[in-house]
Each structure stands twice: as structure tokens, then as C-alpha cells.
């Protein structure tokens, strides 16, 4: 068996934590200072260099790497810049740690570029979904009689939708998936010995039960996302199930379906692919052991 | 183009480094900075949660003014104000624009302003509380609230490593540039130049990750030798570490005046409800 | 008296490796010794020292056998934390051992972790003992290398351990600061009765400060002798590429019938030993050939200033005007902070001169871009690891030509051969040994085919053998490019350079040949430099001009028998 996460010694955990914290913290210093680029209503900014935590959660114990990255973000990107958001940081901390942790668990074979790619996208997507849920929740909670204000719920959804898509493209693909695919094969087997840790092996890392729980979490996040959005839409008198013609005519509401359905399609594909992977791997494994 | 200029400026790492070091290591002898960090953190929790329990415009305005005055007293660095301003203005302008497109009316703006005020109060309160707080003090406060010692260690370690990591990253980027070749033509919107830098920024993390890994190993070994893992399980060590935190006259004064001001704001809010 | 450290037949293998690093090490160390641990690369010196404080076998859980007793207690039965009170360990990369923002914080870190109510007193005591209490409120990042090292030592001293282990105390320091560190360590040994153990390969320091020497070879302790006896095991030392102090080498080189049992190891010894010898005068060399060669770069009033934290401008380089000629071997010397690195960074384009400037070829230092200047100038960072930006040496070598879509394969092939990099081509630079890293980094610097090659502290933290190889490489380099080396290594200056530029507080205070520089005592004294031992000895003996190398020294001895012998 490869290195299981519970086989890490206390000091190895600390090393992964410090490594992840330093690197992602450093990256955050720069992204904090980078300018934002606005074309019309679309805002393009590099909100984080996701490839760093993605790479580390896949190469090392996902929990300590994910946790370290989140801590690094808070310390370097916020605290040392004097820009510590207090409670506001907590939500990002939980979302991001969880998302990266799951991304790390998804990968069981570091030689498979497909798996790396899926895990990277799913990781960033979970983070973005959670933050959308929280953002929508804030508006809900923060505005009195939300439904009384025409146009507002739709606007908020549109904004969140656009930001979801741009984040997926910029942070997820350009600064997540692509660099991770470049870095992981180069670092795999090379960086671990520097910390005195055995490289994660190509064979199955997590047991089937663990797999179920990972899938469960992903589905839960997705359902939460869908539930929140549909509840929110209910407040603006849009029936989730009925696709009204005049609804389509309205640019705003129609617009919002774009990212959501895109996300749903991607998500379903990912889950199916992931399940297939685990099955095929398990069957090869059982063949081997037979 | 302004974007490229700023981008280049950001990668004039000397500038960034200086700004950061000023922010992180500048002397902080402000009013809020001198108080016991635990008191400040509790103050922050209260002030940033209060707005979410009301839709009363007067109370919100009062809170915004109160926190702004405190932030002014703590002499926040221009870089932070700049970052905050960009954030808030960007967010606001964006929402206004979309609401306008969606055919919203004044009602929508009014309720949006309430929401924005709440968010602004939260961020100003956090600036007032944390901008002048020594990261060391913050980590002590967290430790005393029961946050794991690893986290509070990480805070001060980050504080210590910041200049080293930046130097190293800068040198690696320079190594790339010293042996690389910038595009001769910048291209439309200077995209070729931007692409060149972005690729370097990403590729530089390959050596950076390996170098940091090497560094980390010594650090963790030294942590062991210097008794850090021992201190994680030692109540005595925690007690000694926090022995310098004390609530004295200044803190009582601050607590009393905060209570009075917050009460006045709430009373005023109910008397002059808009 | 019972020895304070006793090892008996210790074997150790790191987890996941096949070879044993320790192969039956047996030794005993008495309290109050100042012990130098020497040995070739990969002999197991560092691993051996890590058994003294229990990191092995308690932290590194490899295959361990044998017994380690420290202060009468069995180390394998104690925790690493417990051992910290008895043994302090200062790493070679001590910078990573400092983990708190300010000096006092860091020094009080260990006692605080152990919950000592007197942690502040202990920290202050340690700072005072090392004479750095004035630094207590400084940020670590503002300290110089030497100060950081003292702070790291204070950090372990604060627990008041009986034994202090310091891995390569002076590798990164100029000789002046290096001596300071050793003087402080000597105080700890003599006045406070501490046992000091250093891993060291500068035999001059060993001769001046240590009481005993221990030679490690292939995971075993070959012998342990009092310092004089140890340093005179010439054959054993040379076989492992450890060179005795220059005065000893000089005595060895003499064809005179000298007393074989009374070789000198320090300058004082040397003075008595060689007293009364006559030396031949030396013809003035025709060292003014530089003027005839064409100038490749010119600097005109180059100034550089940087903003400080308090928003003031600090002048780092002040109106530097000079020119470099093809084929010159230039050494740039001066203490830390004199402006050497800043000058080199201005020449690469990494920093822009604030005023003035100059040209190399058609490129201006003031206006040229980093990428443009790099066609003419190549800079090799002090830390070779910063040169390795690709995943293999091969890719690093070809990075420059690839990014320019040139085909330099025959040139690269030649570099690979002359730097003997065939075997490491596919490896990542970071995984190589110190000497290999140095060679590879130089080849990478040369792969850009520069007119001016600059090296920052190339000999720092190299073992003697790698250092020797490096100097050989540098000897051949002047046919390829003009070489500018910033260095503290005065032996390198004496034996290699044809021209030396002395910098002090951002200004050039001397520009001439090494011989001239060592001749003018006020020049090097003012700049805080310390000449090599053989130069010092020649000066003390009244030899004019002073000999720059051991070979020169001995070849200039006139017939005669030194007084010290008779």
C-alpha cells in the first residue's frame, strides 16, 4: 500500500502544513495586489492561484495541505497586509479548506492526467459553489423584504452566475487546471523525499467507503447550491419546474440559467467519470489480488 | 495601458516588498494597537454582528460613523485604504449597473444601500481592529481563545518568513528573465507581454516549491529541538506565553466608552426612525 | 572524569535508503572540549552529530543500533525535547532555525516552549553572553548574516545546554565576522565550561580555536586527537581532501631539513618557525597589461539608491566609474553591505541605476532591459539553487538558447564536457551535491555565452575539494569571458584574481592588483578584510612584497636554516 494519511508522523504533518502555508501565502500576496480587469459588466481578476493548493493536496496528505493553504491565505494575504476581514475570513476558510481537501481525496493515481484534471476542476467548483451559496444567503438575510424589490433577486443571481463562470474559467482552468497538469508530473516523486515522505503511490489510496463519503460531500454541496438558488428564485416568483415563455424573453433570468446548467452538466459528467474510475480501478485491483 | 503598467508595477517586486514590509513591520503605536488584543477581538465581534440584526437606517449610519472614526484614529496605511476602496467601489458599481439593466427602480437601490452599509461596517470594523494589531498579538489572542497553537505559530512564522520567501521568489523570477526572452512585439493590448509574465509567475513555482520544501524540513526539525511540539501539550507553556496579556485601566475605559456609544446609537435609532 | 558524550558502535541508516550512513562509530568526548569534526563530503559528520542530541534515533526513525550516552544518560531512552536541555544544535542553514519575528522573541522561544517562568531572563542572559543584547528588539530579517548566526546560537544557548553543536559556523561569512563567531564560542568554552562541537573544514580556524579534532570517514570515527597532533596527520587529511593550514603547508613544502615533529599550525607558530629566514625579492610583474586589452564595459558615475522602510533614500552605490577589459579576472571585495551585490545587480539590469550608468556592448545599464542585457552579462546567484529553474540540468543549460530558438548544441556539449556534467544531466539541480551544484550553476551561467560573467560568493559553503575544482575552472575562464567575482575568500583573491576592486560603503576605495592591495595595509584594514594566512605570515616575517600563495612563499626562501629549528 502507498502512504496512507494516518501514517504521517507529527513532524511530517507539520512540514506539509508549513510548506503549503508558505507557498500559497506567498502566491496570495501577489494576487491580492494584482489589478482587476473590467470589460463592461464582466470582471476579470485572478482571485487565487489555485494550482498551488491543488498540486499540494494531490501530492501530499490532502487535509494538512488544504488546511495549510487556507491558513496561508489568511496570514499572508490578509493579516500581514493589514487586511484581515475577521469573521468574513471564516467562511472563505471553511469553503476553501473543504474544497481542496475533497480535490485531494479524489485523486488516487497521480499518473493519470484525467484524474488530476477532474479533481482540479471539482475542487475549484466546490469552492465557488459554496461561496455562491454564502453570498446569496447574505443578500437574503441582509435585505428586508427581498421580493418587494423588483429586479434585485434576478440581478444578484445574474452577478453570482457571471462571477461563477469567470471564476471557473480563470481560477479553475487558467490558474488551476493547466498549471497543475504542468507541475504535478514534474514534482511527483521529487518533492516528497525532500520532506522525508514517501510519494503517494499510484494504487488506490482511499477505501471504497471513503469514496462514498467524498461523493456524498460533493453531491451535498451541489444539492445545497441548487436548493439555495431555487429557493431564492422562488422568492421572485419563478417556478423552478415551469419554464414560462415570457421568462425566456427576459434577458436577465434567462442569462442565469446558462452558468447553472453548464455547471450541472459538468458536475454530472465529473461524478459519472469519477465513479467509473473508482470502479475500474477496483476491478483491476481485485483481478490483481485474485 | 494601465492594466499592464500596474501589472508591471506589481512585478516590480521591490516596490511590492517595500509596501508589504512597511505594512507588516511598521511601528504600530496607535490607540487600538495598544489595547489588549482580546478586548479588541470581542469588540470587533460585537460591532460587526450588530448590523445584521437591524434594518434601521439610522443605527447603521451611526455604526458606520463610529467605526470610521475609530479606523481614522488607528491611522490605517494608504495601501489598505486603496485596496478596500477598490473592492467596495467595484462591488457597488457592479451591482448598481446590473440592477439598472434589470429594470430596477429606486426601491432596489435603497435596500441595496442598507446591505452595502452592513458590509462596509463589517470591513471598517475589521480594519480598525486588525490593521493596527501586531500579528503577534493577534496570535496570542487567538491562542487564549483556544485556537490551536499551530495556528498561532503559523502567524508569527509567516510574519518572519515573509521577506525571505519574497526575496527567493523574486530571485527565481529574475533567473527566468535573465535567461529568457521577452516578446519583441507586445501585441494587441500587450497580451504577449502579459502572457510572458504570467507564464513566468507560474513556472517559477516549480523551483519555489522544491526550495521551500528543503527549507521546511530544517524548520520542522528545529521546531522539535526547540521544544515546540512539547509546548503543544503543556499548559504551563501556554500560561507563560500569554502572561503578558493583561486587562488594565485603558481597556476598562475602552469597554465603557464603547458600551455608551453603542447604546446612544441604538437609542437614537429608535427615536429618529426613518 | 566520565566523558560527557560516549558512542559505542553506532550504526544508522535513514529510512528508505540502502546504505548505512554510520558504520560503527565509537568515540568519547570530555566535558569542556572545543572539538572540530572533520571529514570529506558524505562521510557522515552531520549524521554523527545528530545522534548527540537524540534527533537520531528519536526523530529520524531509521535502522539504529549501538549506544549513545550523553551526560551518563542513554539518548535513545530520552525524548528530543529532554535532550534540548543538554545539547544545543545550530544548523548549517541556521536561517531556517530562526522562526520568530524579532531577536528577543526568537531567543526566548525555546525556554518559553518549555514553560519556564524565567524565559525572559534566560533569553537576555544568552544575548548578553554572546554580546548581542543590543540587537534584542531588531527584526530578524534586518540582521546581517553574522548577526543571524549569533542569534541562532543564542536561541539554543537560552536553554543553557552543556553541549553546543554548530554545523559549519562560518561558511557564509567574511573572515572578519567568522573570527568574531569563533571568539564568542571560545568564551563559552573557556569561561562557561561548555563543550563546543563544530563541523568545520577551515583548518586555520581549527588551529586557532579548537582543542581537539575528530576525523570521520565512511561513517566511522577514524581517530580523535588533540588539535596539534590531529592537524599533523597530514596523509590522513590530504587523502580526504582536507588541507592543513597554509603555514603548515608552507612548512611541509620546504625542502629544508625542518623539524618534522614541530610543524607550525598557527601564524604565531609560523613566526617562530620561519624566523630569521631570508626571502628573495620579487621582480615587479608586468601587470599593467590590462590597458592594452579592449574595454568590454564601461561604468560612468553609476549610482544606486533604494528606499528604506522609513521612506528615506539610502545611497547604496555612489558614483562608480570604471571599465572592464576582456580577459580580466576581477575580484570585488568588501564587507557585507559594502555594495558588491548591488553593483552586480545593476550590471545585470535587475536593479536600475538611479543616476549615471554606462554600457556593455550596445546595451545601456540605465535603459536596457533585463532580457536585453542578458545577452552580454551573466550572473550566477550566491545560492546555486536559484539558478535551477528547470527540472533537469540539461533543460537548464538549454533554456537560454531554446527561448531564443537558437541551436547551440555543440557549444552546450562542450560545456557539459568541460564541467563534467555528463552524469547529472537528467537530474534536478537541487538534488546534487554542493560541488556539483556549483559546477552546474557555472555552466548554466556560461550557456548564455556572455562577455561578462559575474559570480556572487562562489566559494561560500564549498568543501575544500569542490573549492579547488572551482578555482581550476575559474583559471580557464578568462579565455571565454571577463570574470567578475564578488567574494570574501581572500585566498581566492590572492591566487586567482588579476585585478581587485575594494568597495566600502558604496564607493570604490581601491582598484589594482591583489599584490598591491595586500601591500597597502590600510586599504584592507579599512575595508574590514583579512588576508590569507600565508600573506599575513609573509607580512609578519617582513617579506616584501608579501607572498600570495604557499608555493610562492616556499620558492622565495633563500638558503638558510630557520632559527626556530635550531
- DSSP annotation string for B19-76: HHHHHHHS----HHHHS-HHHHHHHHHHHHHGGGG---HHHHHHHHHHHHHHHHHTT-
Predicted pLDDT at B129: 83
Identify the pLDDT of residue A256: 42
When mean pLDDT is compared across A164-178, B44-58, C385-399, the lowest value belongs to: B44-58
* Average pLDDT of span A203-226: 61
Does the beta carbon of B55 lie under 8 angstroms from any beta carbon of chain C? no
More confident residue, B273 or C76: C76
State the pLDDT confidence band at C278, using cuts at 50, 70 and 90.
confident
Residue C261 lies in a domain: no
Residue C28 confidence (pLDDT): 94
Q: Does A43 touch chain B (CB under 8 A)?
A: yes
**B17: closest CA among C351, A48, C303, C93?**
C351
Same domain? C222 vs C327: no
Q: Using one digit for the tens of pLDDT, what is the confidence trace for C436-449?
A: 888 899 899 888 88
Contacts of B30 in chain A (CB under 8 A): none
B223 and B274 inside one domain? no
> B238 and B255 share a domain?
no
Beta strands, E only, C119-246: 163-167, 195-199, 212-217, 220-226
The verdict on residue A289 lying in a domain is no
The answer to whether C388 faces chain B, any CB pair under 8 Å, is: yes
Min Cα distance B259 → chain C (Å) is 35
Residues of chain C with C-beta less than 8 angstroms from the C-beta of B234: 113-115
> Does residue B112 surpass a pLDDT of 90?
no
pLDDT at A73 over 70: yes
Task: Answer for the pair B221, C94: CB distance below 8 angstroms, yes or no.
Answer: no
Q: How confident is the model at residue C123 (pLDDT cuts 50, 70, 90)?
A: very high
| Nearest residue, CB atoms, B240 vs list C100, C119, C371 | C119
Asked whether residue A246 is assigned to any structural domain, the reply reads yes
B54, B129: one domain: yes
What's the average model confidence in pLDDT over B145-151? 83
In the structure, what pLDDT confidence band is assigned to residue A116 with cuts at 50, 70 and 90?
Answer: very high
Task: Please state the domain count of chain C.
Answer: 2
Please say which residue of C246, C279, C307 terminates a domain: C246
Q: Model's pTM, two decimal places?
A: 0.82
Task: Tell whether omega for the bond before C545 is within 30 degrees of 0, i.e. cis.
Answer: yes
Would you place residue B60 in the very low, low, confident or very high pLDDT band (cuts 50, 70, 90)?
confident
Q: Which of A106-120, B184-198, C302-316 has the highest mean pLDDT?
A: A106-120
Å between C93 CA and nearest CA of chain A:
15
The mean pLDDT value for C187-202 works out to 93
CATH code of C519's domain: 3.40.50.300
B25 pLDDT exceeds 70?
Answer: no
pLDDT exceeds 90 at position A248: no
User: A94-103, B104-113, C367-376, C398-407: lowest mean pLDDT where?
Assistant: B104-113
Average pLDDT of chain B, as a whole number: 79
For the segment B126-130, the average pLDDT, to the nearest whole number, is 80
Instruction: For residue B152, give its domain range.
Output: 1-28+148-243
Interchain CB contact of B225 with C (< 8 Å): yes
What are the grid coordinates assigned to B55, written together?
Answer: 434594518
How remote is the C-alpha of C121 from its chain's centroid? 34
C183 and C326, same domain (yes or no): no
Residues of C in contact with B182 (CB under 8 A): 369, 371
Please check whether residues B23 and B86 belong to one and the same domain.
no
Mean pLDDT of C137-153: 86
The pLDDT of residue C461 is above 90: no
A133-147, B256-270, C125-139, C230-244: which has the minimum mean pLDDT?
A: A133-147
3-state DSSP call for residue C19? coil
Across A42-51, B168-177, C160-169, which has the greatest mean pLDDT?
Answer: C160-169
Q: Say which range, A30-34, A278-282, B80-84, has the weakest mean pLDDT.
A: A278-282
Contacts of B97 in chain A (CB under 8 A): 41
Which residues of B fall within a CB distance of 8 Å from A31?
none
**Residue C259, in any domain of the structure:** no
Tell me if C241 is assigned to some domain: yes
What is the predicted pLDDT for the residue at C460? 76
Question: Is position A290 within any domain?
Answer: no
Judge whether B111 is closer than 8 Å to chain C, CB to CB: no
Task: Tell me, yes or no, whether A169 lies in a domain.
Answer: yes
A196 reaches C (C-beta below 8 A): yes
In the structure, what pLDDT confidence band is assigned to residue A202 with cuts at 50, 70 and 90? Answer: low
B139 part of a folded domain: no
Among A104-108, A200-204, A228-232, C16-20, name the most confident range.
A104-108
Q: What is the pLDDT of residue A246?
A: 37
pLDDT of residue A214: 67
Residue B138 lies in a domain: no
CA distance A119 to chain B (A): 19
Contact residues, chain C, for A191 at CB < 8 Å: none
Does residue C565 form part of some domain? no
pLDDT of residue B70: 84
Per-residue model confidence (pLDDT) at position B33: 77
Q: Report the candidate in A198, A188, A210 with the shortest Cα–Cα distance to residue A282.
A: A210
Q: Is residue B185 part of a domain?
A: yes
How much is the average pLDDT of C483-495? Answer: 89
Distance from CA of A37 to the nearest CA of B (A): 7
Nearest CA in chain C to A187: C391
Same domain, B20 and B44: no
Q: Give percent above pLDDT 70 in chain C.
A: 94
**Average pLDDT value for residue range A2-15:** 68
Question: What pLDDT, on the 0 to 100 scale, is given for residue B210?
Answer: 93
Percentage of residues in chain C having pLDDT higher than 90: 36
pLDDT recorded at residue A212: 55
Domain that holds residue C189: 5-246
* Mean local confidence (pLDDT), A106-122: 90
Residue B101 lies in a domain: yes
Residue C269 included in any domain: no
**What's the rounded mean pLDDT across residues A244-254?**
37
In a domain, C265, yes or no: no
- The pLDDT value given to residue B13: 61
- Look at A30-44, C141-155, C386-400 and tell me which has the smallest mean pLDDT: A30-44
State how far residue C226 is from chain A, nearest Cα, in angstroms.
37
Task: Report the residue from C91, C139, C381 with minimal CB separation from B171.
Answer: C381
The residues in C 65-104 lying below 8 A from B, measured between CB atoms, are: 79-81, 84, 89, 91, 93, 95-101
CA proximity to C110, closest of C31, C118, B124:
C118
If one compares A256 and C480, the residue with the highest pLDDT of the two is: C480
* Among candidates B83, B97, B122 on the partner chain, residue whose Cβ is nearest the Cβ of A41: B97
Quick one: what percent of chain B has pLDDT higher than 70?
Answer: 74
Q: Specify if C55 maps to a domain.
A: yes
Any idea which of B28-37, B255-264, C78-87, C425-434 has the lowest mean pLDDT? B28-37
Q: Tell me if chain B has a CB within 8 Å of the CB of A53.
A: no
A190 at C interface, C-beta within 8 A = yes
Please, what is the average pLDDT of chain A? 72
Residue B7 lies in a domain: yes
Domain housing A32: 5-282
What is the tens place of the pLDDT at every residue in C508-521? 999 999 999 998 88
d(CA A6, CA A35): 41
Judged by average pLDDT, the poorest of A66-75, B51-60, C21-30, C542-551 is B51-60
Mean pLDDT throughout A273-288? 44
Residues of B in contact with C112 (CB under 8 A): 231, 237, 240-241
| C485 close to C497: Cβ distance less than 8 angstroms | yes
What confidence category does residue A207 fall into, taking pLDDT thresholds of 50, 70 and 90? very low
Which has the higher per-residue pLDDT, A218 or C137?
C137
User: Which chain A residues contact residue B79 at CB under 8 A?
Assistant: 81-82
Chosen for mutation from B227, B234, B243 (greatest number of chain C CBs closer than 10 Å) is: B227
A276 located within any domain: yes
Could A196 and C15 be called an inter-chain contact, meaning their C-beta atoms sit closer than 8 Å?
yes
The answer to whether residues C304 and C240 belong to one domain is no
Residue B241: pLDDT band with limits 50, 70, 90: confident
pLDDT band for position B12 (50/70/90)? low
Say if C454 falls within a structural domain.
yes
pLDDT at C523: 86
Residues C489 and C372 in one domain: yes
Examine the domain organization and report whether C298 and C205 are in the same domain: no
pLDDT in tens, C385-430: 888 999 899 999 999 888 888 877 888 888 888 888 888 899 888 8
Q: Are residues B63 and B122 in the same domain?
A: yes
B104 shares a domain with B42: yes
Residue C155: per-residue pLDDT: 94
Element spanning C308, H or E:
none
Range with the poorest average pLDDT among A59-63, C20-24, C75-79, C277-281? C277-281
Within 10 A of C497 (CB to CB), how many other CB atoms are there? Answer: 24
Closest approach of chain A CAs to the CA of C200, in angstroms? 24
Chain C from 487 to 526: CB within 8 A of any B CB: none
Q: Do C535 and C462 belong to one domain?
A: yes
Helix H, strand E, coil C: the string for chain A is: CCCCHHHCCHHHHHHHHHHHHHHHHHHHHHHHHCCCEEECCEEECCCCCCHHHHHHHHHCCHHHHHHHHHHHHHHHHHHCCCCCCCHHHHHHHHHHHHHHHHHHHHCCCCCCHHHHHHHHHHHHHHHHHHHHHHHHHHHHHHCCCHHHCCCHHHHHHHHHHHHHHHHHHHHHHHHHHHHHHHHHHHHCCCHHHHCCCCCCCCCCCCCHHHHHHHHHHHHHHHHHHHHHHHHHHHCCCCCCCCCCHHHHHCHHHHHHHHHHHHHHHHHHHHHHHHHHHHHHHHHHHHHHHC
Amino acid A213: pLDDT: 65
User: Are C128 and C236 within one domain?
Assistant: yes
Backbone angles phi, psi at A20, to 5 degrees: -65, -40
Does C414 lie in the same domain as C302? yes
Q: What is the residue-averaged pLDDT of chain C?
A: 86
Q: Which tops the pLDDT comparison, A290 or B10? A: B10
Q: What is the pLDDT of residue C407?
A: 79
Question: Which member of C117, C370, C428 has the closest CB to residue B240?
Answer: C117
Spatial contact of C203 and C242, defined as CB atoms under 8 Å apart: yes
Q: Is residue A106 part of a domain?
A: yes
Q: Do B152 and B237 reside in the same domain of the chain?
A: yes
pLDDT of the residue at A150 = 64
**Dihedral sign from CA coordinates of A199, A203, A209, A214:** positive
Same domain, B257 and B211: no
Total structural domains within chain A: 1
Q: How far apart are CA C150 and CA C159, in angstroms?
A: 15
Nearest to C428 among A9, A190, A198 (CB): A190
Instruction: Between B254 and A273, name the one with better pLDDT.
Output: B254
Both C510 and C448 in a single domain? yes
Report the alpha-carbon distance of residue C82 to residue B227 in Å, rounded: 9
d(CA C31, CA C6): 11
CA distance C32 to C163: 9
Q: Do B218 and C96 touch (CB under 8 A)?
A: yes
Amino acid at each position: 500500500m502507498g502512504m496512507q494519511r494516518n501514517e504521517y508522523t507529527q513532524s511530517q504533518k507539520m512540514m506539509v502544513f508549513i510548506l503549503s502555508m508558505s507557498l500559497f501565502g506567498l502566491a496570495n500576496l501577489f494576487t491580492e495586489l494584482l489589478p482587476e480587469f473590467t470589460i463592461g459588466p464582466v470582471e476579470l481578476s485572478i482571485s487565487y492561484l489555485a494550482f498551488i493548493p491543488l498540486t499540494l493536496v494531490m501530492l501530499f496528505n490532502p487535509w494538512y495541505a488544504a488546511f495549510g493553504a487556507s491558513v496561508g491565505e489568511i496570514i499572508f494575504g490578509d493579516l500581514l497586509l493589514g487586511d484581515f476581514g475577521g469573521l468574513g475570513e471564516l467562511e472563505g476558510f471553511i469553503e476553501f479548506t473543504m474544497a481542496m481537501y475533497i480535490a485531494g481525496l479524489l485523486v488516487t493515481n497521480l499518473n493519470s492526467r484525467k484524474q488530476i484534471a477532474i479533481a482540479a476542476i471539482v475542487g475549484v467548483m466546490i469552492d465557488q459553489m459554496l461561496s455562491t451559496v454564502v453570498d446569496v444567503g447574505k443578500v437574503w438575510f441582509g435585505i428586508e423584504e427581498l421580493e418587494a424589490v423588483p429586479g434585485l433577486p434576478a440581478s444578484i443571481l445574474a452577478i453570482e452566475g457571471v462571477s461563477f463562470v469567470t471564476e471557473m474559467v480563470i481560477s479553475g482552468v487558467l490558474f488551476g487546471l493547466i498549471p497543475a497538469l504542468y507541475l504535478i508530473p514534474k514534482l511527483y516523486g521529487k518533492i516528497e523525499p525532500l520532506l522525508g515522505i514517501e510519494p503517494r503511490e499510484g494504487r488506490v489510496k482511499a477505501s471504497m467507503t471513503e469514496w462514498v463519503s467524498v461523493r456524498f460531500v460533493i453531491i451535498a454541496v451541489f444539492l445545497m447550491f441548487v436548493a439555495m438558488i431555487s429557493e431564492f428564485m422562488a422568492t421572485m416568483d419563478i417556478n423552478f419546474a415551469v419554464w414560462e415563455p415570457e421568462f425566456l424573453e427576459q434577458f436577465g433570468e434567462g442569462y442565469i440559467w446558462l452558468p447553472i446548467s453548464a455547471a450541472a452538466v459538468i458536475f454530472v459528467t465529473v461524478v459519472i467519470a469519477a465513479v467509473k474510475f473508482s470502479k475500474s480501478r477496483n476491478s483491476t485491483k481485485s483481478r490483481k489480488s485474485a | 495601458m494601465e492594466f499592464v503598467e500596474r501589472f508591471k508595477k506589481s512585478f516590480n517586486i521591490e516596490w511590492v516588498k517595500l509596501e508589504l514590509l512597511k505594512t507588516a513591520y511598521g511601528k504600530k503605536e496607535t490607540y487600538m494597537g495598544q489595547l489588549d488584543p482580546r478586548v479588541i477581538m470581542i469588540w470587533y465581534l460585537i460591532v460587526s454582528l450588530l448590523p445584521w440584526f437591524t434594518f434601521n437606517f439610522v443605527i447603521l449610519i451611526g455604526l458606520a460613523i463610529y467605526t470610521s472614526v475609530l479606523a481614522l484614529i488607528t491611522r490605517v496605511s494608504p495601501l489598505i485604504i486603496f485596496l478596500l476602496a477598490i473592492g467596495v467601489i467595484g462591488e457597488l458599481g457592479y451591482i448598481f449597473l446590473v440592477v439598472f439593466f434589470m429594470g430596477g427602480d429606486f426601491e432596489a437601490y435603497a435596500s441595496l444601500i442598507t446591505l452595502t452599509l452592513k458590509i462596509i461596517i463589517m470591513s471598517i470594523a475589521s480594519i480598525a481592529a486588525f490593521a493596527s494589531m501586531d500579528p503577534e498579538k493577534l496570535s496570542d489572542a487567538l491562542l487564549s481563545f483556544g485556537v490551536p497553537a499551530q495556528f498561532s505559530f503559523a502567524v508569527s512564522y509567516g510574519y518572519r518568513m515573509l521577506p525571505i520567501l519574497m526575496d527567493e521568489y523574486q530571485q527565481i523570477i529574475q533567473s527566468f528573465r535573465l535567461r529568457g526572452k521577452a516578446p519583441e512585439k507586445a501585441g494587441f493590448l500587450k497580451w504577449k507581454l502579459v502572457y510572458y509574465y504570467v507564464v513566468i509567475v507560474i513556472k517559477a513555482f516549480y523551483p519555489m516549491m522544491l526550495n521551500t520544501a528543503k527549507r521546511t524540513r530544517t524548520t520542522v526539525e528545529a521546531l522539535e529541538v526547540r521544544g515546540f511540539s512539547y509546548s503543544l501539550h503543556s499548559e504551563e507553556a501556554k500560561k507563560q506565553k500569554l502572561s503578558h496579556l493583561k486587562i488594565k485601566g485603558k481597556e476598562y475605559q475602552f469597554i465603557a466608552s464603547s458600551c455608551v456609544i453603542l447604546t446612544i446609537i441604538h437609542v437614537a435609532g429608535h427615536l429618529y426612525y426613518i | 572524569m566520565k566523558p560527557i558524550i560516549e558512542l559505542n558502535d553506532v550504526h544508522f541508516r535513514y529510512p528508505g535508503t540502502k546504505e548505512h550512513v554510520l558504520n560503527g562509530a565509537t568515540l568519547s568526548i570530555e566535558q569542556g572540549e572545543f572539538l572540530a569534526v572533520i571529514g570529506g563530503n558524505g562521510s557522515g559528520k552531520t549524521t554523527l552529530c545528530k545522534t548527540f542530541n537524540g534527533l537520531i534515533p528519536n526523530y529520524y526513525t531509521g535502522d539504529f543500533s549501538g549506544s549513545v550516552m550523553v551526560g551518563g544518560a542513554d539518548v535513545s531512552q530520552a525524548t528530543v525535547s529532554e535532550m534540548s536541555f543538554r545539547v544545543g544544535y545550530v544548523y548549517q542553514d541556521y536561517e531556517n532555525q530562526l522562526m520568530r519575528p524579532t531577536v528577543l522573541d526568537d531567543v526566548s522561544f525555546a525556554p518559553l516552549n518549555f514553560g519556564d517562568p524565567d524565559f525572559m531572563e534566560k533569553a537576555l542572559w544568552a544575548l548578553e553572553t554572546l554580546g548581542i543584547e543590543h540587537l534584542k528588539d531588531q527584526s530578524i530579517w534586518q540582521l546581517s548574516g553574522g548577526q543571524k548566526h549569533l542569534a541562532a546560537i543564542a536561541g539554543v544557548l537560552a536553554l543553557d545546554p552543556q553541549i553546543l553543536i554548530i554545523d559549519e559556523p562560518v561558511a557564509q561569512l567574511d573572515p572578519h565576522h567568522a573570527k568574531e563567531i569563533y571568539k564568542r564560542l571560545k568564551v563559552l568554552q573557556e569561561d562557561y565550561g561548555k563543550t563546543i562541537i563544530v563541523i568545520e573544514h577551515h583548518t586555520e580556524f581549527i588551529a586557532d580555536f579548537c582543542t581537539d579534532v575528530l576525523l570521520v570517514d565512511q561513517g566511522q570515527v577514524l581517530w580523535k586527537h588533540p588539535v596539534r597532533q590531529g592537524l599533523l596527520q597530514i596523509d590522513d587529511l590530504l587523502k580526504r581532501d582536507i588541507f592543513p593550514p597554509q603555514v603548515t603547508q608552507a612548512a611541509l613544502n620546504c625542502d629544508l631539513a625542518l623539524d618534522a615533529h614541530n610543524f607550525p599550525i598557527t601564524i604565531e607558530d609560523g613566526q617562530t618557525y620561519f624566523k630569521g629566514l631570508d626571502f628573495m625579492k620579487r621582480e615587479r610583474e608586468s601587470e599593467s597589461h590590462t590597458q592594452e586589452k579592449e574595454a568590454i564595459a564601461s561604468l560612468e558615475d553609476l549610482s544606486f539608491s533604494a528606499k528604506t522602510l522609513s521612506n528615506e533614500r539610502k545611497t547604496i552605490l555612489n558614483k562608480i566609474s570604471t571599465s572592464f577589459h576582456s580577459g580580466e579576472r576581477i575580484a570585488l571585495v568588501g564587507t557585507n553591505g559594502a555594495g558588491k551585490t548591488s553593483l552586480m545587480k545593476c550590471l545585470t539590469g535587475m536593479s536600475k541605476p538611479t543616476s549615471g550608468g554606462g554600457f556593455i556592448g550596445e546595451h545601456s545599464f540605465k535603459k536596457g532591459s533585463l532580457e536585453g542585457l542578458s545577452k552580454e552579462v551573466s550572473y550566477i546567484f550566491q545560492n546555486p539553487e536559484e539558478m535551477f529553474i528547470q527540472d533537469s540540468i540539461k533543460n537548464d543549460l538549454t533554456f537560454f538558447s531554446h527561448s531564443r530558438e537558437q541551436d547551440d548544441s555543440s557549444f552546450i556539449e562542450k560545456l557539459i564536457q568541460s564541467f563534467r556534467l555528463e552524469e547529472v544531466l537528467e537530474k534536478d539541480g537541487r538534488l546534487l551535491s554542493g560541488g556539483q551544484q556549483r559546477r552546474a550553476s557555472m555552466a548554466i551561467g556560461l550557456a548564455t555565452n556572455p562577455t561578462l560573467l559575474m559570480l556572487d560568493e562562489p566559494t561560500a559553503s564549498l568543501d575544500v575539494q569542490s573549492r579547488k575544482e572551482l578555482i581550476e575552472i575559474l583559471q580557464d575562464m578568462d579565455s571565454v569571458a571577463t570574470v567578475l567575482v564578488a567574494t570574501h575568500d581572500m585566498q581566492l583573491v590572492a591566487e586567482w584574481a588579476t585585478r581587485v576592486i575594494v568597495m566600502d560603503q558604496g564607493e570604490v576605495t581601491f582598484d589594482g592588483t591583489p599584490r598591491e592591495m595586500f601591500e597597502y595595509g590600510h586599504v584592507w584594514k579599512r575595508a574590514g578584510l583579512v588576508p590569507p594566512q600565508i600573506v599575513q605570515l609573509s607580512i609578519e616575517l617582513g617579506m616584501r612584497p608579501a607572498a600570495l600563495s604557499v608555493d610562492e612563499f616556499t620558492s622565495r626562501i633563500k638558503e638558510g636554516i630557520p632559527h626556530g629549528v635550531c
